[in-house]
Amino acid sequence: MWSLSDHLVQLSCMAMIVWGAQAFARRAHRRRVSREARRLRSALHIGLSALRKLYEDNLAGPSASANNQAHSTRTRSRISPASLNKRRTAVSLAA
């Protein structure tokens, strides 16, 4: 027959196992969130650096700005170079 002390020992062991598993899960979750936050901060830094460089390049002058816009248009929409040269000429003359 089980005595009261045996039941208390079993109960305390079960409680320690559950609390240990919860602590381990919290620690793993904190690491995962920290890693994701670090990755997000890194991506944000790279994106802001690229925007800053693009902004500075656009301020270099109208011809440089037209060339940058033409290049970005070409890569986004895959327009043929011949039609793009006509557009670049029109944009340069308008500026």
Q: Tokens for 75? A: 């890569």
14 and 27 part of one domain: yes
pLDDT of residue 94: 61
pLDDT at 4 over 70: yes
**Domain boundaries, position 79:** 61-95
HSE at residue 84, side-chain half, CA atoms within 13 A, is 16
User: What is the number of domains present in the chain?
Assistant: 2
50 and 72 part of one domain: no
SS3 state of residue 59: coil
10 and 53 part of one domain: yes
Q: What gap in Å lies between CA 12 and CA 9, rounded to an integer?
A: 5
54 and 76 part of one domain: no
Per-residue pLDDT tens for 8-52?
Answer: 999 999 999 999 999 999 999 999 999 999 999 999 999 988 888
pLDDT of residue 30: 94
